[in-house]
């Protein structure tokens, strides 16, 4: 049975191709490799602009902001913990790690809140 695959071009045929075609092919290959292997960073500080849809009131005091952040982190910690109870294996470990990071952030915000308004 004959194969339908053509023979590769000989070196003389490759030399017959114009050098412009070879340069265009190399440029196209380089662009494709750069696109897939080194994509542009979409999350650089210059390209990201926060939405102004939701704003924190500019006259809010630091203590109120920290108290709100502390409550939000506590809620997120509880939600992550509850979510982890329904998972098994690596997914559960990942959610518990996220919950621990939230808890550490909550501790830091609590300490900052204590520094702003010491109860002692």
pLDDT by residue for the chain (120 residues), tens only, comes to 566 766 666 655 555 556 777 778 888 888 877 777 776 665 555 666 777 788 888 888 989 999 999 999 999 999 999 999 999 999 999 999 999 999 999 999 999 988 887 775
Tokens of 20: 């412009």
Q: Could you give the CA distance from residue 10 to residue 17 in angstroms, rounded to a whole number?
A: 12
In angstroms, what CA-CA distances link 10 with 2, 7, 19, 52?
20, 9, 16, 62
Q: Looking at residue 83, what is its pLDDT?
A: 92
* Matching residue, tokens 């695959």: 5
Q: Angle at which helices 62-84 and 89-116 pack, to 10 degrees?
A: 160
């Amino acid at each position: 049975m004959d194969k339908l695959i053509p023979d590769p071009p000989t070196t003389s045929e490759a030399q017959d191709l114009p050098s412009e075609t070879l340069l265009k092919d190399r440029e196209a290959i380089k662009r494709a490799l750069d696109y897939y292997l080194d994509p542009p960073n979409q999350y650089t500080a210059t390209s990201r602009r926060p939405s102004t849809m939701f704003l924190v009131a500019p006259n809010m005091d630091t203590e109120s902001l920290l108290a709100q952040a502390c409550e939000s982190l506590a809620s997120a910690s509880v939600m992550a913990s509850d979510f982890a109870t329904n998972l098994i294996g690596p997914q559960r470990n990942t959610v518990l790690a996220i919950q621990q990071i939230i808890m550490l952030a909550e501790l830091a915000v609590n300490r900052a809140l204590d520094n702003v308004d010491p109860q002692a």
